[in-house]
Structure 1
Amino acid sequence: MTSSTTEAKTYVETARRVITIEAEGLAALAAGLDASFAQAVEAILGARGRVIVSGMGKSGHIARKIAATLASTGTPAQFVHPAEASHGDLGMVTRDDVALVLSNSGETPELADLIAHTRRFRIPLIGVASRPESTLLRQADVALVLPQAAEACGSGVVPTTSTTMTLALGDALAVALMEHRQFTPEMFRTFHPGGKLGAKLSKVSDLMHTDMPLVREDTPMPEALLEISRKGFGVVGVTDAAGNLTGIVTDGDLRRHMDGLLSHSAAEVMTRNPRTIAPGVLAEAAVAVMNERKITCLFAVEGAKPVGILHIHDCLRAGVV
């Protein structure tokens, strides 16, 4: 075995040890949850304002992530840096808010002014720390105690297991609040319209074109061909006198009626009862239909009336596929 192979094996063994230690910490956290967790959820639900999440150092990084997760899942939240809070940002923390303060030791000096502010103005304080007797948890209205668990670094000085547990506790709070509010994927997209997640939750109505290629059933094919060229979708929808979509003319229809094409009407060339989709359906579902049918366009209809047209390229540009 070469030295590089030996080193690679050692690296993997280290990674497995770290992950195992942190997993044991998470298991202890789950086993130790009690009524105080439910009290924390109720305190957040009872707030008329926002969840002010704060922490210093590594706890501050975790606090930022927790605030972002809460905000994107329907619970207004904001990270406040404790050092900046002492220099004016305490004005962001109001009587309508609830504070979620993180500190593994519970004795972080920079948190003192923020804690005092919550006590002065009777702002509910949820503390997260590993020492029940710490200043933070003694002052808190709700104390969430992290279990005693070894840090994964081996020396016990690098926040690893403790930050993993704190992050998981924040996720648990966010999901408990989501379930209480019956938060849906559609609601999530409202707070997260960008990126891959936003794209996956896009609806047909978000991507479809409302300037549709449409002709009446009695339209001569020369006019129908002009409409196909004008709109650039490669198809044209055909409607009856009431405006209902009754068919669609595609490239395949044109080839099948090549002989004497220009002497026909749209109704004589079209494919009847084309596959359509509702505008409120997720765009991912529309892509699945197009892939299954080997087509590039779908008309969106309400009842039988066309309200838009979706092209596979629209979905590609939005990152749906």
Structure 2
Amino acid sequence: MKKIGVLTSGGDSPGMNAAIRAVVRKAIFHGLEVYGIYGGYSGLITGEIKKLEIGSVGDIIHRGGTMLHTARCEEFKTEAGQKKAIEQLNKFGIEGLVVIGGDGSYRGAQKLTEHGFPTIGVPGTIDNDIPGTDFTIGFDTALNTIIDAIDKIRDTATSHERTYVVEVMGRDAGDLALCAGLSGGAESIIIPEAPYEMEQIVSRLKRGHQRGKKHSIIIVAEGVGSGIEIGKKIQEETSLETRVTVLGHIQRGGSPTAADRVLASRLGAKAVELLLEGQAGRTVGIENNKLVHHDINEILQVKHSIDNEMYKLSQELSI
């Protein structure tokens, strides 16, 4: 193998640039040429491909987002679109591909592998919803962004003696909400993976109010539903002044934390190693601080789950 490509797909996440940097420099260190595909699978189909040098990825390790840009691509979901993509890869002489992204990106990598093109998936998403790895690139940064917001909101909640509902991202996964709620001292955490009853949340708020507690923070994962609607119900049933904050895409931006930079560097480099070993259709990850890799077909069949012990602890600490 003499030439490889790298692309980012799906939602951006802090640390993607660090992963791109690792792929490029690891590959060049081993004598490979590296080509960046701009605009995700859409750019792959249209041939938005450029050779990358060592300097191409200089001064990007600290930047959020992705220098290769990203886009959704419906055409790539079709067999015709996938064949166009492979034609472009062959045109540039690219023999292997590293795909950095989430679930949808992995499915694209799976299709390329099925067509006989060696592809390795690197988990880049703030949602932390990819099986086969303890953490995904961007999760730690997004979590710290949320915690910073919760700390600021708590100051206002304390000053005005209000209940605040904070809606966080995560798609259908509750990892961000759970970790943010536990580390931010939230009174209740509402996530898709665990059933909740409004009566219990209301009861907890009322108990706190009766013992003199003047403010509360409720964390809602977007996969559960609207934080605004939940906030309305809480105010109706408790008569406590309630405000709602939807953090939105602020969670996806920003300079990656040291943890995300290290993780991205390790995973990006590991992906190149697998291609050099002749591997294909694999995903890289980290488990118990050890680098691992799995069959992409098996990973896409695993249902995401949360740490139930952590969720239980969050309930015990929010009495």
The bucket for the TM-score relative to the shorter chain is under 0.3
The TM-score normalised by the length of structure 2 is: 0.27
**Which structure has more helix as a fraction of its residues?**
1
Of structures 1 and 2, the one with the larger relative CO (CA 8 A, separation 6+) is 2
Which has the greater radius of gyration? 1
